[in-house]
Structure formats: structure tokens, C-alpha cells
């Protein structure tokens, strides 16, 4: 398990962080529409996220996670729709911020092998353009 702090922010066509990459920081500096603390990222949404009485069809997810692991080889697996970036200890290790590379109704999955030991931090940036959305991050020890 990874201890995650998850925040969601809504956006519109003018603040779309996929078309306007500089908007991600602007959006993340605002008050989130929803927050959560979980020990795993494993989400799926139809038609956006619900926060209170409102539904937000376009949103970004920013998740920060901390974990302490024994020395070894690990596999990080990420499933997403529509765009995602994954950082490990402040360095980008996965950059899939171009949704046009994937087919309609495809939820891509990518795996990255990493050597880890001790305390590590993760950051996930995820953007949903409309329709079905998913975000799942899993870490498993290989040896």
C-alpha cells in the first residue's frame, strides 16, 4: 500500500491542461473540488467526478504518495484514461500526456521497472477530457 493524498480540480475549454500544459500548475494552485486520503489509487468514473451536488465531466487528479519499501526490484503499473504523468522522487518516469496516441475507449496500461530502497515519494498528474475515466497505480515487488 502507498499512502496517497488525492485532489481533484475541474477545468473548462480555456483551462484544459492537455492543450495548455501551463494550466496544470494554475489549476493545482486553486481550491480542489474534492479531496481524499487512500492507501491505493484505483478509480473509474463515468461522466466525471461527483463532488457534493455537482458533477465535473472534465477534471484533473493530482495525487501525492509516500511509501517505505525494502531494497529490491519493483514494477510500477499505471492504467489511465485520458492523460497521465508519474513522478518518482521528483523525477518524471512516465509521460503519457498525449491522449491522441490512443484509440477511442482504450484505457492504456504501462509498466515501469525500478529499483527502490527505503522511503520514496510519488506524484501522479491525471487529466480527464470527458466520458469514461480511470486511474490506477500499483506497485509490486519483483524479487
User: pLDDT at residue 129 above 70?
Assistant: yes
Check: CB of residue 128 under 8 Å from CB of residue 48. Answer: yes
Q: Give the ranges where 1-110 is alpha helix by DSSP (H).
A: 23-28
The pLDDT assigned to 21 comes to 83
Residue 105 pLDDT level (bands cut at 50, 70, 90): low
pTM for the predicted model, two decimal places = 0.93
Q: Give the ranges where the chain is alpha helix by DSSP (H).
A: 23-28
User: pLDDT at residue 127 above 80?
Assistant: yes
Distance CA 143, CA 123 (A): 24
Residue 85 CB neighbour total at 10 angstroms: 18
What tens digit of pLDDT does each residue of 53-81 get? 999 999 999 999 999 999 999 999 999 99
Average pLDDT over residues 90-119: 87
Check: CB of residue 2 under 8 Å from CB of residue 38. Answer: no
Residue 36 CB neighbour total at 10 angstroms: 14
- Residue 5, classed as helix, strand or coil, is strand
Amino acid at each position: 500500500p502507498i499512502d496517497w493524498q488525492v485532489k481533484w480540480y475541474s477545468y473548462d475549454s480555456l483551462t484544459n491542461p492537455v492543450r495548455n500544459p501551463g494550466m496544470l500548475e494554475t489549476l493545482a494552485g486553486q481550491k480542489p473540488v474534492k479531496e481524499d486520503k487512500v492507501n491505493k489509487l484505483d478509480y473509474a468514473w463515468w461522466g466525471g467526478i461527483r463532488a457534493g451536488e455537482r458533477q465535473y465531466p472534465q477534471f484533473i487528479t493530482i495525487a501525492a504518495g509516500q511509501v517505505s519499501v525494502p531494497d529490491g526490484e519493483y514494477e510500477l503499473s499505471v492504467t489511465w484514461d485520458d492523460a497521465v504523468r508519474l513522478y518518482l522522487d521528483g523525477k518524471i518516469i512516465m509521460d503519457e500526456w498525449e491522449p491522441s496516441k490512443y484509440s477511442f475507449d482504450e484505457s492504456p496500461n504501462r509498466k515501469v521497472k525500478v529499483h527502490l530502497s527505503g522511503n520514496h515519494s510519488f506524484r501522479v498528474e491525471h487529466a480527464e477530457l470527458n466520458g469514461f475515466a480511470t486511474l490506477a497505480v500499483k506497485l509490486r515487488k519483483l524479487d
